[in-house]
């Protein structure tokens, strides 16, 4: 969290803490996974509303942040294996790891698997990410909320298979298990798949649309909230739709029945391959996927679209792509954002558009993160 944002949230947290709340997790205060467990959940929503209204003052105002289940919601946890510990990094420090015994943010099934997995992981050499020596870097635990299927990806610093202490457990207890390679200096919990111990994917289901999720593919971390946001996006699209940063096709396929056609653009080739499988699984004919950088695609795109859907990374959209969007001139833009700061910067530059609606969801309770959805109409 950037310094300015952190300071703003700390100031607001003091205002909204009230009489406080009893943290649910014994690791709260040490573990960096949560910041707000000592604030009543209703106050967390008011805190986030105040933050957004300060940040977007003069652009748009917000009446509420739509709440979610405050615990047991996360689809994904990246568990660090380092310094003889297994858990998450300590609050405020990259250098230390909090040895976790529980995590109430996880779904119940995921947490149960996690508790059994930890002692097995500690039998495997961990990875010192400061000196860059060692073997097991991460266990990425993923669970599809509506199907309950569980995936574990073990991320190692070399391609050797030294995972015997956990292999039998993985094959028996989860629906998908893979070994991934991350052999560079960058701190990454993803990489090429070396080996699938079991299946190599799990499936999620939103309103009858089935999604295959592979080890490196992005999928929203809170399925109930994501589904609600997708339903809202579906209400706002029409005609020919361009979906940028389309991932495994989650939005593209969900909105297909409301559109004449949908073109999804995604740089990650594994995600595009999975998106095409998802299209076939669902028998959807009016969606196509392009494996290309969104900025390059926008620069070269000559077709016209009625609706542009975007769910960019935290960095937002590139300044040159704002120009490309203006030149393409879609009638409507539906902008889903995980970073209100970059959303603000983007909409201030899209001067040919006005905001028709703006909503916010608490995609990540107990944390400062907020997901927003804006509908922009060409003036």
Burial of 337 (0-12, 13-18, 19+ CB in 10 A): buried
Distance CA 119, CA 123 (A): 7
Residues 128 and 196 both lie in one domain? yes
Residue 190: phi and psi, rounded to 5, are -145, 170
Encode pLDDT of 64-105 as tens digits.
Answer: 999 999 999 999 999 999 999 999 999 988 899 999 999 999
SS3 content of the chain, % helix, strand, coil (to 5): 30, 30, 40
Q: pLDDT tier at 305 (50, 70, 90 boundaries)?
A: very high
CA pair distance 267, 151, nearest whole angstrom: 23
pLDDT mean across residues, the chain? 94
Q: Judge residue 295's burial from the number of C-beta atoms within 10 Å of its C-beta, 0-12 exposed, 13-18 middle, 19 or more buried.
A: middle
Whether residue 351 sits in one domain with residue 234: yes
Same domain, 65 and 18: yes
Please confirm, yes or no, whether 371 is among the known catalytic residues: yes
Same-domain check for residues 257 and 378 = yes
Residue 222 Cα to chain centre, angstroms: 8
Instruction: Choose among 108, 110, 35: nearest CA to 79.
Output: 110
Residue 379: give its domain's CATH number. 3.40.50.150
User: Nearest Cα to 108, choosing from 150, 169, 167, 154?
Assistant: 150
Q: Is 202 helix (H, G, I), strand (E, B) or coil?
A: strand
Active site residue 359: no
Catalytic residue among 204, 236, 301, 371: 371
The answer to whether residues 80 and 92 belong to one domain is: yes
Number of domains, the chain: 2
Q: Which of 34, 98, 103, 338 is catalytic?
A: 338
CA distance 185 to 69: 37
My answer on whether 349 and 229 are in the same domain is: yes
What Cα–Cα distance (Å) separates residue 62 from each residue in 15, 75, 250, 301, 373?
19, 27, 27, 34, 11
pLDDT digits (tens, 9 = 90+) for 319-368: 888 988 998 999 999 999 999 999 999 999 999 999 999 999 999 999 99
| Structural domain contains residue 214 | no
The tens digit of pLDDT for each residue in 259-295 reads: 999 999 999 998 999 999 999 999 999 999 999 998 8
pLDDT higher than threshold 60 for residue 157: yes
Distance (Å, rounded) from C-alpha 313 to C-alpha 343?
Answer: 11
Q: Are residues 158 and 189 in the same domain?
A: yes
Claim to verify: residue 343 and residue 231 sit in the same structural domain: yes
CATH of the domain at 106: 2.40.50.1070
Give CA angle at 96 (152, 338), nearest 5°: 60
Q: Which domain holds residue 89?
A: 76-200
Structure tokens given for 291:
């494996």
């Amino acid at each position: 969290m950037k310094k300015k944002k952190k300071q703003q949230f700390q100031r607001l947290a003091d205002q909204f803490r009230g009489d406080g709340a009893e943290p649910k997790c014994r690791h709260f205060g040490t573990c960096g996974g949560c910041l707000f467990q000592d604030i009543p959940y209703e106050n967390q929503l008011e805190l986030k509303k105040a933050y957004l209204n300060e940040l977007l003052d003069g652009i748009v105002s917000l009446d509420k942040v739509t709440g979610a289940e405050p615990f047991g919601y996360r689809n994904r946890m990246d568990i660090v294996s380092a310094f003889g510990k297994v858990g998450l990094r300590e609050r405020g420090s990259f250098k230390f790891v909090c040895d976790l015994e529980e995590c109430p943010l996880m779904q119940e099934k995921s947490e149960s698997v996690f508790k059994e997995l930890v002692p097995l992981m500690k039998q495997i050499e961990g990875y010192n990410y400061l000196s860059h020596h060692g073997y097991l870097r991460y266990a990425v635990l993923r669970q599809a909320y509506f199907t309950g299927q569980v995936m574990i990806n073990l991320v190692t610093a070399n391609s050797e298979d030294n995972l015997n202490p956990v292999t039998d457990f993985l094959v028996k207890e989860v629906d998908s298990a893979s070994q991934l390679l991350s052999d560079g200096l960058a701190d990454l919990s993803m990489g090429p798949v070396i080996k699938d111990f079991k299946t190599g994917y799990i499936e999620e289901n939103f309103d009858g649309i089935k999604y295959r999720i592979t080890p490196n593919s992005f999928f929203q971390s809170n399925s109930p909230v994501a589904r609600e946001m997708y339903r809202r996006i579906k209400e706002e699209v029409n005609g020919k739709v361009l979906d940028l940063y389309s991932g495994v096709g989650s939005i593209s396929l969900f909105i297909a029945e409301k559109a004449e056609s949908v073109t999804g653009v995604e740089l990650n080739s594994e995600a595009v391959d999975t998106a095409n499988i998802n299209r076939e699984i669902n028998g959807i004919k009016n969606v196509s996927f392009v494996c290309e950088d969104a900025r390059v695609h926008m620069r070269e795109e000559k077709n016209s679209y009625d609706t542009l859907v975007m769910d960019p990374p935290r960095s937002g959209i590139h300044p040159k792509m704002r120009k490309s969007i203006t030149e393409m001139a879609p009638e409507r833009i539906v902008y889903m954002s995980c970073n209100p700061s970059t959303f603000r910067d983007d909409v201030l530059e899209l001067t040919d558009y006005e905001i028709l609606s703006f909503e916010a969801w608490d995609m990540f309770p107990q944390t400062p993160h907020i997901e927003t959805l804006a509908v922009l109409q060409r003036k």
